[in-house]
Amino acid sequence: MSRIDENKEAVRRFLEEIWSKGDQAAMEEVLAPDFQFILAFAQLDGREAYKNLVIKNHEIFADLTYSLASLDDVVADEQKAAAFWSMSTSNHRGTWRNVPASGEAVAIKGMTFFRFNEAGKMTEARVQNDVLKFMLTIGGVKKMYDI
C-alpha cells in the first residue's frame, strides 16, 4: 500500500473507528502521542486529551457516528490529507460547551485537514464545520434575525 493510500485509510479509521466507535486501540495505532485536534473554538494537545474528548462526546451524544461517503471524499499526499465527512443524526443528551442537554436531534457536516509525521502517524486534525447551526439546534445561541 502506498503512503497516500495509508493516509487515506488512516482518515477513514479516524472517522469510523476512533470517532464513531471510540476504539482506543485504533487511537494508539493511528494517532501520534503529540496529536493536536483543532476546532474553531478549542484546541486539544496530545493523544490522551483527544481520547478523553471522544469518550465524553459519546456520553453526551447518543449514537455518535461519523462517516465518509466514500474514500473518494479523501484527498491525500504523503504528509497531508483532507476529507469531507458527515456526523449522522445524534441525540444531544448531556451538557456540551456549557449547553445543557436539549434532547434535540443534531447532525453536522464538515471537513478536516490532517497532517502526518514521517512514521505515518497522524499529528494534526484541523476541523471546519457549521458549528453555528449545530449550536442553534441545541439552543446554545439565539437567532439574531428571522429571515
Chain centroid offset of residue 36 CA: 12
Mean pLDDT over each residue of the chain, to the nearest integer: 93
Burial of 103 (0-12, 13-18, 19+ CB in 10 A): exposed
User: What are the tens digits of pLDDT across the range 65-89?
Assistant: 999 977 788 999 999 999 999 999 9
Predicted confidence (pLDDT) at residue 147 exceeds the cutoff of 80: no
Give residue 61's pLDDT: 94
Rounded to whole angstroms, the Cα distance separating 137 from 143 reads: 10
Q: Which domains occur in the chain, in start order?
A: 3-138 (3.10.450.50)
User: What are the tens digits of pLDDT across the range 82-113?
Assistant: 999 999 999 999 999 889 999 999 999 999 99
